[in-house]
A and B are shown apart, each in its own frame.
Chain A
Amino acid sequence: MPSLPAASHPIDGSSASRGQLLAERTLPPEHLLCLEVGEKLVATCRFDLDADLNFTDGWIVLTDRRLVADTPASFDGDSRSLQTAPSPKQTHSWLLAASTRVDVHMRAAVGRIELASGDGIVASWLFTPARAKEVLALEDAFDERIRGERIHNALATRVAKATNARDQSQAIESAALTDGSKNSNDDETLDAISSPESTSGASWRSLVRILTFAKPHAGMAILGGLLSLVSTAVTLVPPYLTMPLVDKVLIPRQSGEAVPFSMIWWYLAGLTGAALAAWLLSWAQAWTLAWVSERVAADLRVRTYSHMQSLSIDFFSGKRTGDLMSRVGSDTDRINTFLSVNLIDFSSNVLLVLLTAGVLIWINPLLALVTLAPFPLVVWLVYSVRSRLRRGFIRANVAWSDMTSTLADTIPGIRVVKAFAQESREIDRFRTANDRVLEANDRVNIVWSFFGPLISLFSEAGLLVVWGAGAWLVFSGTVTVGALTAFLAYIARFYGRIESMIRMVPATQRAAASAHRIFELLDCKPTVAESPRPINPGRVQGRIELSGVHFRYGSREVLHGIDLVIEPGEMIGLVGTSGSGKTTLANLICRFYDPSSGTITVDGKDVRDLSISGYRKNLGCVLQEPFLFFGTVTENIAYGQPQASREQIVAAARAAGAHEFILAMPAAYDSRVGERGGSLSGGERQRLSIARALLVDPSILVLDEATSSVDAETEVVIQAAVDRLVTGRTTIAIAHRLSTLRRANRLVVLDAGTIIETGTHDQLLAAEGAYFRLYHAQTRAALEAATGA
């Protein structure tokens, strides 16, 4: 039988994709490809499981006459309409008839492709999702080429539809997200540049304040300090030993005196001992201080993060995510490096410089004076360069956090970026931010590259001065050769330390800037403050009374004196154009903000007197953009009530209309969902968030545009879930679509921050006021849409 010409293969080219078994073939083996004369190949696919669910490697070949395949998971040998054609080896072959069908069923981890005739299934093969694509392609090819129908299999279209809908809703959501973060304020950034002096003072205070975090580890910190004192002192011993070695051993020997060589051994032993002691001590010191600083940084991170959690919503609306992340992450890390590396070096350098100066003066005051003469000049230079460096580093830090913010903006908004094909613009934006980092670093480097070698020049000059003055003093007999040798050894160390101290100036400035940024955050006070004597409200009845409530964002007043009483169990619909203050009102009831003036009471108690968390335990919120955390479906539903039982969770999911789609997920209630809800559609995420609110069993419920981001069909499902949710709870619902508020006991119409109408749907329609106009505008639009379609 002729083998098939390769050119006529409609074989999927993706078969050689990554992650499949070594011995992958892109073509079925010979025994399956034995075609009759005139027979044409239509499609091939592989399956990878046998009847017992063991991995296998088999092929299904579809031609225009037959379906040829390796051993199926199950088959009927005696089918009437499909005759099993005789074939060599273990190959099975079925002749295709008019009634032949190929169906694919996908279950969680195992899929089944079935070959069926008019009266039932004749054979089926099993496969894992790894083969799903090619199996579905074969099914499509069968429908299109053999049955001549352009029916895509139901699964594929369903999946495609779901994906489209999901993409759209996510794109909308991401758009909202990026918009929100765009109006972030750069004020703080500007402040940092325009007033470097004040920042610097604060920076130094910040560094000192960091040390207060070492308090819990004071014992280790003091031990570390002592160790660095001793280890520094020990490093001063070797040069001191060179003095008698030269004066008492080497020079007398050179001038002909009989000095026993054994003396040398003593000095060498002393030098070795000092070196070993220095090594041991500095090892212990480095480890101790690193241990302390690691803990200080860890405490700082937790303190910063927990403080951030305690801050009110308005803090977050004014900050960029990237900036906050870099404060908790890289700023604390920079401080850690500073404490564990630079601070140790710095303190041991200061010690060494002081001790060296002391030893030099003790050996010979005159020579010491000459040696230390250039030192004040160095100090002045350091001082003058410091402020330039500091300004440079603040710029660099700001540029850096700008760059991270660019990342934090665009990664969550990636769908919007791609949808509008703005990748290159985003790259440019990132490049601009990156260029600013480069420029800022260049500036620092110009100062630094000039300054560093200058210090080296000074130390060389210092050495020269010591040689000159020393030689003169040796000639005049005031100083021995040994003392001069010791001086030279000390002076090399001395300038070495000075140099490394100066190199630390940038690191110190950098750490100071970081410490400043962290304390700036730690010093932020929550605007919604816990009352000094908070009352735990327990479970509230839900009678909410607003009297004379004003609220302003900055200088703009958004609510002008709202008076409203909501009875327990009543459902209030807030209606109005966007910007009329609906969400602000809801935010005030949730106590995300406090009113600028006026009071809000719940069950007759001012909400400001209630314990914040105690009050919020009574609240349930379903927002327009349901946020899901990285974790399982169960964890997300039980977010507000982690101790809930499985039965309660399932009951909440059922009531929210989420149960069935959860069961369809790969691991049902144990399936993981991503930070942005990953594989779930907008409607599905919304139903999970309704289940989350239901489980808390809140007495006050806030629905902020809960159904506005989903399609009409999903809205019906969600609406049913919402209806179950609102029963028996005080509910404040915001909706653009007035139809969503049909169950509301009362509608409150807001316009530009004031209540203009209150009443039931019928009353308001009869009054022919603002609500009447809104309602008719919407029904007209809906009618037009309906007739237009």
Chain B
Amino acid sequence: MKSSDTIPPARTPTEWQLEQLRHGHLDLIDRHGQRHSNVDVVRAFPISVPAGPIAIVAADGTELAWIDSLALLDAPLQSLLLKELAVREFLPVIKRIETVSDSEPTEWLVSTDRGLRRFTVAHTDDILRLPDSSAVITDSFGVRYLIPSVDVLDARSRRLFETSL
């Protein structure tokens, strides 16, 4: 059984320490002074409650720390975690839809805030419309793309998006 099943994971930043290393590595030193290298920072509810709880897990998936909300942390640690989350939650924002092929699986060519990108969407189930008019598209490789608001897309992009559903 993994340690987190018996020992409740450390909840407050006083019980552990993060150390930022080169090449994007992040190490966690727990209250026993043990170093866990290359840890991962995970939002528990990235879509429904992005500002909500965050877990720090070891490379083998064991949970090391649980943070109920980023707001509870001091500023430097907060910005460090946010930076780490940005890498993990790589989510290009679609600015304009250039083309969408007709038949399923659909091929999309889009302009994102990170450049032009072509990807394939296997099924309409992979296009998730959220109540706030935003949408998340997941491509065949699992990369997600965000449309912050379908309503503010230009008319052509919006039409392409609507017809793809």
A-side residues, CB < 8 A to B, are 18-22, 49, 53-56, 73-74, 76, 105, 107-110, 112, 114, 120-121, 123-124, 126, 128-130, 132, 630, 632, 634, 646, 650, 654, 657, 659-661, 663-664, 666-670, 672, 716-717, 720
Contact = CB atoms under 8 A, between A and B. Distances in A.
Given A55-B116, A56-B115, A670 B47 contact: yes
A300 to B, nearest CB: 27
Nearest to B107: A19
B107 A18 contact: yes
A132 B142 CA distance: 11
A19 B119 contact: yes
A646 B90 contact: no
B1 A717 contact: yes
A108 B24 contact: no
B86 interface: yes
B142 A668 contact: no
Interface string B1-40: 1101100000000000000001111000000000000101
Q: Which of B2, B44, B47 has most chain A Cβ within 10 Å?
A: B44
Given A108-B89, A114-B23, 5 more contacts: A55-B114, A109-B89, A650-B53, A660-B4, A663-B55
A22 B5 contact: no
Given A73-B24, A646-B45, A670-B48, A19 B120 contact: yes
B83 to A, nearest CB: 11
Nearest to A130: B141
A109 B119 contact: no
Given A55-B92, A720-B1, A660 B115 contact: no
Contacts of A114: 23
Given A53-B90, A646-B49, A720 B5 contact: yes
Interface stretch (B56-64, B70-78, B151-159): B56-64
Nearest to B117: A55
A646 B43 CA distance: 13
13 contacts: A20-B118, A53-B86, A108-B42, A109-B143, A112-B23, A129-B142, A130-B143, A646-B45, A654-B5, A659-B4, A659-B63, A670-B45, A672-B125
Nearest to A661: B61
Interface in B73-109: 86-92, 105, 107, 109
Interface in B130-148: 139-144
Contacts of B53: 646, 650
Contact of A55 (B4, B22, B38, B115): B115
B164 interface: no
Contacts of B2: 660
Nearest to B55: A663
A483 to B, nearest CB: 58
Q: Which of B63, B89, B128, B142 has most chain A Cβ within 10 Å?
A: B142
A298 to B, nearest CB: 21
A470 B4 CA distance: 100
Nearest to A76: B22
Contacts of A18: 105, 107, 120
> Which interface class (under 10, 10 to 19, 20 to 34, 35 or more) fits B?
35 or more
A669 B116 contact: no
A56 B2 CA distance: 40
A132 B22 contact: no
A9 to B, nearest CB: 24
Given A109-B143, A129-B142, A663-B55, A668 B22 contact: no
Contacts of B119: 19-20, 130
Given A18-B107, A130-B119, A720-B5, A112 B42 contact: no
A128 B141 contact: yes
Given A22-B118, A55-B114, A130-B143, A663 B45 contact: no
Given A18-B107, A55-B112, A660 B142 contact: no
Contacts of B46: 667-668, 670
Contacts of A632: 47-48
B114 A53 contact: yes
A725 B102 CA distance: 50
Contact of B114 (A54, A108, A654): A54
Contacts of B1: 716-717, 720
Contacts of A634: 45, 48
**Among all A-B residue pairs, the 6 with the closest Cβ atoms:** A19-B120, A55-B115, A129-B141, A670-B47, A109-B90, A130-B141
Contacts of B92: 55
A630 B125 CA distance: 10
Nearest to A19: B120
Contacts of B107: 18-19
A660 B44 contact: no
B87 A110 contact: yes
A391 B120 CA distance: 49
B87 to A, nearest CB: 6
Contacts of A666: 142, 144
A672 B125 CA distance: 10
Contacts of B57: 660, 663-664
Contacts of A53: 86-87, 90, 114
B98 to A, nearest CB: 11
Contacts of B43: 668
A108 B47 CA distance: 14
Given A129-B141, A668-B43, A668-B46, A21 B116 contact: yes
Q: Which of A18, A73, A74, A109 has most chain B Cβ within 10 Å?
A: A109
B42 A668 contact: yes
Contacts of A716: 1
Contacts of B4: 654, 659-660
A664 B61 CA distance: 7
A473 B115 CA distance: 87
B10 to A, nearest CB: 14
Given A54-B115, A128-B90, A663 B61 contact: yes
